Amino acid sequence: MDKQKMRNYWTILTSNNLGMLGVGILFVFLIIALLAPIIAPYDPSVRVGGPFMKPNGSFLLGTNDIGQDIFSELIYGTRVSLLIGVVAALISIVIGCLVGVIAGYYGGRVDSLLMRFVDLILVIPFLPLMILLAAFIGPSFWNIILVISLISWASPARVIRSQVLSLKTKGYVEAAKSIGSSIRVILTKHILPGVIPIALSQFVLAASHSILIEASLSFLGLGDPFTKSWGTILYYAQARGAFLTDAWIWWILPPGLLITTLVIGFAFTGYSLEEILNPRLRKER
């Protein structure tokens, strides 16, 4: 990608208020995740106060039922939730790219077989499939990432396949075939450069979906009980009677707002990337 095209893309992004807002939100959460040991006043796994203490000067969001600082839990939970979302999205996009490129480029029976499998994944009800896989594989940090990846790759695969079908009919691809270029050369030099921008926008949107899935699984008790993610904070708050006291205000509301804000940041960034990569969307806007 040449420098002039990169400058054009940057100009379009900076002129999109929602896109810049999304990038700003993600940057703030990234800084919080990287500096969690410095920002958090306490170790989130250590009892530092009495149970169900209200917010005060020492505990900005009070304490949970065993006296752990909720604010510190949220800071460290940012690191865990963001890591799960990004890693699961990356794995799902890699799988989606492989399936989409193979199906789109080879076509025929290969395309038909792979797309019928993609249709099967997309047709199965999402929530029961997610719960079944999580319960079968078992709760752990990497198992949650595996579950999210297994149910999130199908939609990107379909989008990337459509892009490959469009690219392989281009003149420069036909010319490369006519002079006897190998499949490896055609894919790496002509197909993948046109797929990567689409894959990037799909990755951003997949990350937001992954964070929501992780929070949902953890809230249902299917997450890793030994990690401090926003979802596990919600699970323990619900399981230990936060709704029966005023503690829900500082124990349940903050992680819910953080999940919503981070998902909005990914969504705004993903939609702005789609607008950059699709000139028709810019024209409609």
Q: Which residues pair with 69 in a beta bridge?
A: 63
pLDDT given for residue 33 in this prediction: 93
**pLDDT, mean of residues 127-151:** 81
Give 56 or 274, the one with higher predicted confidence.
56
pLDDT given for residue 93 in this prediction: 94
pLDDT given for residue 273 in this prediction: 79
Give how far Cα 181 sits from Cα of 77, 175, 178, 196, 220, Å.
49, 9, 8, 21, 52
Per-residue model confidence as pLDDT tens digits over 199-229 = 888 898 899 999 998 888 888 888 777 888 8
**pLDDT, mean of residues 126-153:** 81
Q: Which ranges of the chain would DSSP assign to H, the alpha helix?
A: 3-14, 17-34, 36-39, 70-106, 108-123, 126-137, 141-152, 154-167, 171-178, 183-186, 192-219, 230-239, 248-251, 253-277, 279-284
Per-residue model confidence as pLDDT tens digits over 22-33 = 889 999 999 999
Mean pLDDT score of the chain, rounded to an integer? 84
pLDDT band at 6, cuts 50/70/90?
Answer: low
Counting every residue, how long is the chain? 285
Q: Which CATH topology does 31-284 take? A: MetI-like fold (1.10.3720)
The rounded percent of the chain whose pLDDT value lies above 70 is 92
pLDDT given for residue 281 in this prediction: 46
DSSP 271: H
pLDDT given for residue 261 in this prediction: 94
pLDDT band at 284, cuts 50/70/90?
Answer: very low
pLDDT given for residue 188 in this prediction: 81
d(CA 35, CA 38): 5
**pLDDT, mean of residues 85-106:** 92
pLDDT given for residue 255 in this prediction: 92
d(CA 207, CA 197): 16
CB proximity list for 26: less than 8 A, separation 6 or greater = 262, 265, 266, 269
Give 111 or 138, the one with higher predicted confidence.
111
pLDDT given for residue 53 in this prediction: 86
pLDDT given for residue 174 in this prediction: 79
pLDDT at 135 over 80: no
pLDDT at 130 over 80: no
**pLDDT, mean of residues 95-111:** 89
Contact 207, 266 (CB under 8 A): yes
Question: First vs last Cα of the chain: how many Å apart?
Answer: 25
